[in-house]
Chains A and B, each alone.
Chain A
Amino acid sequence: MTRVEITGIGLHPFGRFDGTSVTEMGVVAVRHALADAGIGRGGFQAAFCGAVYAGVAAGHKVLDSMGMTGMPIVDVEAGCASGGAALMLAAGAIRAGQYDTVLVYGVEKMPKGIIRSSFFEPWREQAGLAATPAYFALRAQRLMRESGVTKHHLASVVVKNRRNGVNNPDAMFRKDVTAADVLASRVVCEPLHLWMLCSPNEGAAAVVLRKGSGGGVELAAAALRSHLPGSVLGEATPMSGLATDDITPPTSLAARAAYEEAGVGPDELDVVECQDTDAARELLSYEELGLCNPGDAAKLVETGATEMTGRLPVNPSGGLLSKGEPLGASALGQVVELTRQLRGDAGPRQVEGARLALSHTVGRGANACVTIIRR
């Protein structure tokens, strides 16, 4: 199969940037990625842009403002997995022989506060059934019941990611916190406290993919999957589901596809960036990605395996809990981070000798993407 390489990465920091437009943030990320790849105008034959709240033709506006239009520009919306979806489409097009070099980017400028989504019908909002953190809380409660996870485990995930975020200049929150701080923050929806939830925010990320000749960082897999019918608490959040616990979640479907595509297993991974929309979501992701057996997420975090000093550091960037979540950009932000890790360019948050890395986002649709890169 055609080898696809990541030859350029770029980022606009994640945070709140009053006075900076989503287009301007996209330009910053794209400019860095193109410079990193050593290409300019005419250096890529197609562009895929992940965006959710950025409006009509968000990707076009970025390239238009740089005088770089003319090629196909496709805006991709797949909720929190938008950037991963864009990456999958770009990689597929290169493997199909359609293009040699493709620009993939994601941009976002989220409204403040709880994410409001046209995903929910107005009556569900009116009746209080569109409270996103409440769905997260129900999932956290089930995880606590089924995997022996306690509030202490949830707090320890926040402590870990915020500590990692201290070393990430592109993160929104860069202060160390203690478990006591986390548990003293107000309860949003029991068992989730405010500091256990990530902040929707703003930012942009970009990646240049190229048909490879060997060397550099290889995009070994980019898998996207949607949910199977019937799960009431999946990210699809229907009004009802089936009374069964045997429905494979979309993250597991995407992970299986990605492991197969890359020809690797979870035991071989050196570093992971996963969806930590809330602290429980990270623990659930450990199980769904096969980083531990089902029911063992609490044990995995207790052993310290996912700390920077552990055998499989998770979210060395600080995760969404430190960076915040600009939906269209977050998945590509993870790929940027992991490419830095594999290049040995991650500075004080470097995972020594990292050669195989996995990124994961999951959200509305439901959509889950899992990307595996290696060098």
Chain B
Amino acid sequence: MTTVVRDGLFTVGDSPHLVGGRCGDCGRHHFPLLGTCPYCSSDQITRAELSRRGTLWGWTAVTAPPPGYLGDVPFGFGVVELPEGLRVITRLSHPVEHFTFGMPMHLRIVALHTDENGDDVLTYEFTPEAYDRKIVPTGEAGGGRA
């Protein structure tokens, strides 16, 4: 069994997407999906499945578990720019040593940790296109070693 770290953040399956919103007034995208446009205050929002592919804008590695964190360390952390004109804060696959600015990345859904019911709790991360591999590792917590 699996569950997700927060409902409505992403779709799962072979072709997962982050779920954001598109503003009917200013035309801009946001993530996660909100009821009000965070740029122009419009309430004309439609659900939008965001591109699975983007480019790397910034990255680092988190080496010590931050407060409240339930996964393994170290893990990658950074910003991926999507074709919708959006920069998304995201976990990244680890290690990050060979990452470069503008590197093509794609979304994958990974197990963050196992909860008290023995269910894998899924979250999203981006990994370099070049590192492509099977999505949703089973029995492997954390950032899925590339």
A interface residues with partner B (beta carbon < 8 Å): 113-114, 116, 120-123, 125-134, 137-138, 141-142, 145, 186-191, 229-230, 232-233, 237-244
Verify B75–A240 contact, CB threshold 8 A: no
Verify B77–A238 contact, CB threshold 8 A: no
Tell me the B4-42 residues at the A interface (CB within 8 Å). Answer: 5-6, 9, 20, 28, 30-32, 38-39
Q: Which of A123, A134, A240 contacts B62 (CB 8 A)?
A: A134
Given A141-B59, A141-B60, A243 contacting B81 (CB threshold 8 A): yes
For B70, give the chain A residue with the smallest CB separation: A126
Which residues from A are CB-within-8-Å of B90? 129
Which residues from A are CB-within-8-Å of B63? 186-189
How far, in Å, is A290 (CB) from chain B's closest CB?
A: 25
B 117-136 to A, binary, CB cutoff 8 A, 1 in contact else 0: 00001010000000000000
Which residues from A are CB-within-8-Å of B30? 240
Q: Is B137 an interface residue (CB 8 A)?
A: no
* Chain B contact residues, majority secondary structure: strand
Q: In the assembly, what is the distance between CA of A219 and CA of B30, in Å?
A: 41
Which residues from B are CB-within-8-Å of A128? 62, 66, 69, 71, 75, 77, 91, 112
Verify B87–A138 contact, CB threshold 8 A: no
Q: In the assembly, what is the distance between CA of A233 and CA of B59, in Å?
A: 12
Q: In the assembly, what is the distance between CA of A113 and CA of B64, in Å?
A: 11
Q: Which of B58, B60, B86, B91 contacts A129 (CB 8 A)?
A: B91
Verify A190–B60 contact, CB threshold 8 A: yes
Given A145-B101, A240-B86, A127 contacting B123 (CB threshold 8 A): yes
Which residues from A are CB-within-8-Å of B139? none
Which residues from A are CB-within-8-Å of B85? 242-244
CB contacts between A and B, total, < 8 Å: 121
Q: In the assembly, what is the distance between CA of A122 and CA of B6, in Å?
A: 9
Verify B60–A189 contact, CB threshold 8 A: yes
Given A116-B68, A123-B5, A233-B79, A137 contacting B60 (CB threshold 8 A): yes
Q: Which of A123, A233, A244 contacts B58 (CB 8 A)?
A: A233
Which residues from B are CB-within-8-Å of A243? 81-82, 85-87
For B113, give the chain A residue with the smallest CB separation: A126
How far, in Å, is A227 (CB) from chain B's closest CB?
A: 11
Given A130-B66, A242-B39, A243-B85, A232 contacting B60 (CB threshold 8 A): no
Which residues from A are CB-within-8-Å of B28? 242
Q: In the assembly, what is the distance between CA of A133 and CA of B88, in Å?
A: 17
